[in-house]
């Protein structure tokens, strides 16, 4: 996990859970939209960064689209599992410059910031307790 992402993880772990599931959903869609828009911005300057941004935005958008948020129609992925996956997704987004081998400082900082924001949103969300399964006898 990149340093800034792990630092955000440690810094926000013990903070109160301020975000509701609806606020978390809105933040996820905003982050996905910012990644997609950044891909268009990066296209002329650095095509690898643009592709990395679109891949990251699509992954965040796909995760949000498959998640069953509380109070919304049931989907394929439980909301508590979404939070666990999102922590790994934040590390993936922050590591995109290494995956796509680009060295431009501005793009590297953008991906590090996006990883920090994803981690903070995930850590500051009040996820419901994991549902328990009943054993049938």
- The model's pLDDT over 96-110, given as tens digits with 9 standing for 90+, comes to 999 998 888 888 999
More confident residue, 113 or 70: 113
Distance, in Å, from the CA atom of 69 to the CA atom of 83, rounded to the nearest integer, reads: 11
Query: What is the DSSP secondary structure assignment for residue 74, as one 8-state letter?
Result: -
**Most confident range, picked from 67-76, 85-94, 120-129:** 85-94
The mean pLDDT value for 69-85 works out to 81
Note the pLDDT of residue 21: 84
Which of these, 18, 44, 3, lies nearest to 120 by C-alpha position? 18
Q: Are 122 and 86 contacting, i.e. CB atoms less than 8 angstroms apart?
A: yes
On the question of pLDDT at 59 being above 90, the answer is yes
pLDDT in tens, 4-58: 666 666 666 666 677 788 888 899 999 999 999 999 999 999 999 999 999 999 9
Kind and range of the H or E run holding 35: helix 21-42
């Amino acid at each position: 996990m990149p340093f800034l992402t792990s630092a955000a993880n440690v810094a926000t772990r013990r903070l109160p859970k301020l975000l509701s599931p609806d606020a978390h959903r809105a933040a996820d869609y905003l982050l996905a939209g910012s990644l997609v828009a950044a891909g268009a911005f990066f296209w002329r300057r650095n095509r690898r960064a643009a592709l990395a941004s679109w891949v990251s935005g699509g992954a965040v958008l796909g995760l949000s689209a498959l998640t069953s948020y509380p109070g919304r129609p049931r989907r394929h992925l439980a909301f508590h599992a979404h939070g666990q996956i999102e922590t790994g997704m934040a590390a993936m987004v922050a590591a995109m410059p290494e995956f796509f081998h680009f060295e431009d400082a501005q793009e590297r900082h953008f991906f590090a910031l996006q990883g920090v924001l994803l981690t903070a949103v995930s850590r500051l969300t009040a996820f419901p307790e994991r549902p328990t399964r009943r054993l049938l006898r």
